[in-house]
């Protein structure tokens, strides 16, 4: 029906003359009737918003454009284009600090107090730099007023926000300071009488390019649109959900579906209701209760659970909790740790914070083989504890404090027990630790031993798998680990055990139609070959030793079980190495593809 009316207006008011203003083509695309109209592309949406923000659009055109968008509602591509242009228009200095959490606050509250401001402050006290931005809405209690009641005034310039984030880990930046033009566009709702796409755009501004964004919506469907738009824009992390009143605040009375984006993947989580019965509307809306709750002067289960549950969603979105339950546990601990006598952004001493440890697989050597999740954690770490097998280029991706704990055979910088204890100590000091290991942490990486210790001390941890050497190195050597003509199974073993011996299940390893991959077997290559032959494997079985696979120093030595020891003795390869035994090695001559001339291949 709406399109029919627009089509009628179009046909009776637009004369067939050339359109002089370039913006007219976008109105035409949106409003040319049921059969002729279409959505804007990503590029068109960006161009249209750029013209609007630069003042090249007539008022009549702007009104028509916004209302045409309102009829069909913005698509994810249109929203992404609008946001891209809006972000480009912001005047944010390059010196802006690294912000962890972006928090949009544009709805205002009229049923319950804006408890979410306490959630944001709770996180900032744990050293999580949080930039909140928003706008006041007539007739509602908004974030700016709530923060003022706590003694935290809105920043009057981007420079002030910069300074406050550096010193206090929290700042509130009003939209009129961030972008007066966007504020004017947002306020057109009172003139036009309807919501416009600008309400979605400002929520996604993320002016400091924070790794994680918290967005609340009110109208159904916009959560999915925000999620899809963030994916198109290449944003890192996002949590968007129907918040209490439309702000990013968890309503503990209801089931909450949180639409998330993490590592280029979108997913949903259902956060269960925390109360059996709904709470009534707060008729007084006494903003002084925010400070009273923080100081412990009042008891309010609804308010406390709102603060904790909202902070938990943020923690989950940032990847600091592996699931909903752990996020709630950490957020509850943060609430218990707060200083009731101190309001605002006074930071909790690091020694009193709860830290965490991420065991991250760095892959076999080539930095391009890092997972997206690994890269994000490396860049956001406060302390990087890394091994000898991690490529220097990967270590240099982090600005964190770096601690080397590498091991070589019989040369350990720190014994394993000391490394375990180091991780516990750093986490207990409130540090965000990345334990970076070559390959995969759970394949001959002693990751299991380390997280046993962390679990025993109740330290929050997560594990990020990496491409293990067997997979990465074999691929770069042109040796498939399985092949229908040669091997139907594959076995990984370590070349030396905990006591330094090479006492393996030789009968199992000598089975036919099987590929055997040996980690850390350089010094035991002769023993390996002799034992496999002695237990029934043919001496002519193809075998290869790969030196420093996937790097510019990769070398592949190919022979048989009979000849490989002599080849290794002659060529003197350097660790780390990987040994591959089985018929698949014979395919290398045909499948060899990697030429290790540089790291940029």
The neighbour count for residue 191, using CB atoms within 10 Å, is 8
CA distance 129 to 121: 10
Can you tell me the distance from the alpha carbon of 119 to that of 243, in angstroms, rounded to the nearest whole number? 14
Catalytic, 407? Answer: yes
Asked if 372 contacts 263 with a C-beta cutoff of 8 angstroms, the reply is: yes
The continuous run of DSSP H or E covering 31 comes out as helix 24-31
DSSP state string for 408-462: ETTEESS-HHHHHHHHHHHHHTT-EEEEEESB-TTSSS-HHHHHHHHHHTT--EE
Question: What is residue 40's DSSP assignment?
Answer: P
Residues 183, 121, 432, 365, Cα dihedral to 10°: -10
Question: Which of the 8 DSSP states describes residue 109?
Answer: B
What is the per-residue burial (b if ≥16 Cβ within 10 Å, else e) of 338-353? beeeebebebbeeeeb
> Which residues pair with residue 64 across a beta bridge?
none
Q: Which positions ≥6 away from 33 have C-beta within 8 Å?
A: 3, 4, 6, 7, 10, 11
- Contact by Cβ (8 Å): 144, 154: yes
Per DSSP, 141 falls in state B
Cα 589 to the chain's mean position, in Å? 41
Among 492, 544, 550, residue whose Cα is nearest residue 522: 544
What are the φ/ψ torsions at residue 390 (nearest 5 degrees)? Answer: -85, 130
Contact 107, 140 (CB under 8 A): yes
The DSSP letter of residue 578 is E
State both tokens at 554: 């990769």
Consecutive H or E run containing 102: strand 101-105
Report helix, strand or coil for 110. Answer: coil
Q: Give the 3-state secondary structure of residue 383.
A: strand
Q: Is 387 a catalytic residue?
A: yes
* List of residues 6+ apart from 470 with CB closer than 8 A: 443, 481, 490, 492, 517, 519, 578
Backbone angles phi, psi at 441, to 5 degrees: -60, -25
Joined together, the tokens standing for residue 568 give 């290794």
Among the listed residues 387, 431, 437, 440, the single catalytic one is: 387
Residue 55's H or E segment, with its range, is none
Which residue in 189, 379, 402, 407 is the catalytic one? Answer: 407
Q: CA dist 212 to 91, 104, 360, 460, Å?
A: 20, 11, 20, 19
Which residues are catalytic, by number? 387, 407
């Amino acid at each position: 029906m709406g399109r029919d009316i627009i089509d009628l207006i179009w046909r009776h008011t637009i004369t067939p003359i050339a359109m002089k203003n370039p913006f007219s083509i976008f109105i035409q695309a949106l409003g040319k009737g049921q059969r002729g109209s279409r959505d804007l592309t990503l590029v068109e949406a960006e161009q249209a918003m750029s013209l609007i923000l630069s003042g090249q659009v007539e008022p009549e055109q702007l009104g028509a454009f916004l209302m045409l968008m309102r009829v069909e509602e913005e698509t994810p591509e249109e929203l992404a284009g609008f946001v891209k242009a809006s972000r480009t228009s912001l005047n944010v200095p390059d010196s802006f600090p690294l912000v962890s959490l972006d928090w949009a606050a544009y709805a205002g509250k009229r049923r319950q107090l804006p408890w979410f401001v306490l959630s944001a402050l709770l996180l900032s006290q744990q050293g999580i730099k949080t930039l909140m931005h928003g706008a006041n809405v007539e007739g509602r209690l908004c974030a700016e007023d709530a923060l003022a009641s706590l003694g935290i005034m809105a920043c009057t310039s981007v420079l002030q926000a910069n300074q406050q984030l550096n010193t206090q880990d929290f700042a509130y930046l009003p939209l009129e300071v961030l972008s007066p033009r966007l504020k004017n566009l947002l306020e057109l709702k009172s003139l036009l009488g309807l919501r416009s796409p600008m309400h979605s755009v400002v929520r996604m501004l993320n002016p400091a390019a924070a790794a994680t964004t918290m967005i609340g919506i009110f109208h159904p469907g916009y959560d999915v649109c925000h999620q899809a738009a963030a994916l198109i824009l290449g944003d890192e992390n996002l949590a968007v959900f129907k918040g209490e009143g439309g702000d990013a605040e968890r309503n503990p009375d209801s089931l909450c579906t949180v639409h998330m984006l993490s590592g280029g993947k979108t997913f949903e989580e259902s956060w269960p209701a925390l109360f059996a019965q709904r709470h009534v509307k707060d008729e007084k809306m006494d903003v002084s209760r925010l400070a009273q709750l923080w100081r412990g002067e009042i008891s309010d289960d609804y308010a406390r659970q709102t603060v904790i549950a909202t902070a938990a969603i943020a923690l989950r979105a940032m990847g600091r909790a592996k699931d909903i339950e752990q996020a709630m546990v950490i957020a509850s601990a943060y609430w218990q740790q707060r200083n009731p006598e101190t309001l605002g952004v006074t930071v909790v001493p690091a020694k009193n914070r709860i830290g965490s440890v991420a065991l991250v697989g760095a892959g076999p050597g080539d930095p391009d083989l890092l997972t997206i999740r690994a890269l994000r954690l490396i860049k956001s770490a406060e302390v990087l504890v890394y091994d000898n097998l991690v490529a220097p280029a990967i270590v240099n991706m982090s600005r964190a404090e770096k601690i080397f704990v590498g091991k070589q055979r019989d040369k350990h910088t720190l014994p394993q027990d000391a490394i375990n204890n180091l991780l516990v100590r750093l986490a207990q000091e409130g540090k965000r630790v990345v334990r970076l290991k070559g390959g995969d942490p759970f394949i001959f990486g002693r990751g299991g031993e380390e997280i046993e210790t962390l679990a025993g001390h109740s330290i929050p941890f997560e594990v990020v798998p990496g491409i293990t050497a067997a997979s990465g190195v074999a691929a770069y050597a042109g040796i498939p680990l399985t092949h229908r003509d040669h091997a139907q199974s594959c076995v990984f073993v370590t070349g030396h055990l905990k006591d330094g011996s090479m006492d393996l299940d030789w009968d199992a390893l000598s089975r036919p139609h099987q590929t055997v991959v040996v980690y850390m077997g350089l010094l035991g290559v002769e023993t390996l070959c002799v034992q496999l032959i002695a237990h029934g494997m043919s001496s002519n079985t193809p075998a290869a030793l790969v030196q420093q696979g996937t790097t510019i120093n990769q070398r592949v030595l190919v022979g048989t079980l009979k000849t490989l020891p002599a080849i290794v003795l002659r060529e003197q390869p350097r660790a780390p190495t990987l040994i591959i035994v089985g018929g698949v090695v014979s395919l290398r001559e045909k499948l060899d593809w990697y030429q290790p001339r540089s790291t940029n291949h």
